[in-house]
A = this chain, B = another copy of it.
Amino acid sequence: MLEDIKKAVYEANMSLPEHGLVVFTWGNVSGIDRESNLIVIKPSGVEYSDLSPEKMVVVDFEGNVVEGNLKPSSDTATHIELYKAFNDIKGVVHTHSPWAVSYAQAGMDIPAAGTTHADYFYGDIPVTRAMTADEISNEYEKQTGKVIIETFNERTIDPNHIPGVLVNDHGPFTWGTSPSNAVYNSVVLEKVAEMTYHGLMLNDRSSRMDQELLDKHYLRKHGKDAYYGQ
């Protein structure tokens, strides 16, 4: 079942080490079939070199394995929460990519500081609050998803326009219109974190770009008036 999505999820997972976003097994990508609300995700703890489309695991919104012999990624419950709350997304990625993690550990948003950022993220990339002891103790992975959603709700951020987040003292999750688009956003987030780190070190009074420039770059690539790179 869902062979196309399995292939897409497999290929998206394989692209993580190619983009330098993960070492060992430190990353996972999923995709969803929005008709059946079934999620296809990387199995847990399997080396990238041992993956194949057939090894992808299919789970439902309760986390039950619907197909597959391997255990789904331990982060599956986080992916599920994101798919349930963010209705338009069709792919989710989690990595420990180093520049993004640096911001997560610093507890800092990545400010929208330049057009590379603005081409794909329509504003600052938020960091979540620290999770409470209770959230960490009970259904931690599910609560990780919930604290992401809370962040977007409380700050009234549209996840379709800011397709990524930093979980405090942990690392980035990104999403998108497909598994490969979610990976693309992970690459952008990592590259933007790197650029903006060095820009802040050079001049910490110049962190945020003008709103007009942010609007221009985001909107020329996204939405009904887009004309860039089409």
A114: which of B140, B171, B209 is its contact (CB, 8 Å)? B171
A206 & B98 in contact (Cβ 8 Å cutoff): no
Q: List residues of A whose CB falls within 8 A of some B CB.
A: 19, 23-26, 44-45, 71, 74, 96, 98-99, 101-108, 113-116, 130-131, 133, 136-137, 140, 169-171, 184, 187, 191, 194-203, 206, 209-210, 212-213, 215-216, 220, 227-230
A199 & B23 in contact (Cβ 8 Å cutoff): no
Given the known A-B contacts A106-B202, A169-B113, A202-B102, are A191 and B23 also in contact in the complex, defined by CB atoms under 8 Å?
Answer: yes
Given the known A-B contacts A74-B228, A136-B216, A187-B23, are A114 and B169 also in contact in the complex, defined by CB atoms under 8 Å?
Answer: yes
Given contacts A113-B169, A140-B216, 14 further A-B contacts (CB under 8 A): A24-B184, A44-B228, A96-B195, A101-B114, A101-B195, A102-B198, A105-B206, A105-B209, A107-B203, A116-B171, A136-B216, A140-B220, A197-B198, A197-B201
The distance in angstroms between the C-alpha atoms of A187 and B198, with both chains bound, is: 18
When distances are taken between beta carbons in the complex, the residues of chain B under 8 Å from A98 are 191, 194-195, 198
A221 to chain B, nearest CB (A): 9
The distance in angstroms between the C-alpha atoms of A201 and B105, with both chains bound, is: 11
A45: which of B169, B195, B229 is its contact (CB, 8 Å)? B229
A206 to chain B, nearest CB (A): 5
When distances are taken between beta carbons in the complex, the residues of chain B under 8 Å from A228 are 44-45, 74
A31 to chain B, nearest CB (A): 20
A102 & B195 in contact (Cβ 8 Å cutoff): yes
Shortest Cβ distance from A19 into B: residue? B23
B115 & A169 in contact (Cβ 8 Å cutoff): yes
A199: which of B103, B213, B215 is its contact (CB, 8 Å)? B103
Given the known A-B contacts A227-B74, A229-B45, are A202 and B213 also in contact in the complex, defined by CB atoms under 8 Å?
Answer: no
A165 to chain B, nearest CB (A): 15
Shortest Cβ distance from A203 into B: residue? B106
The distance in angstroms between the C-alpha atoms of A140 and B228, with both chains bound, is: 12
Q: 28 A-B contacts, Cβ less than 8 Å apart?
A: A24-B187, A44-B229, A71-B230, A96-B191, A96-B195, A99-B198, A102-B195, A102-B198, A103-B199, A104-B199, A105-B113, A105-B195, A105-B206, A106-B199, A106-B200, A107-B203, A108-B203, A113-B169, A114-B170, A115-B169, A133-B212, A136-B212, A136-B216, A137-B212, A169-B213, A197-B198, A200-B202, A201-B201
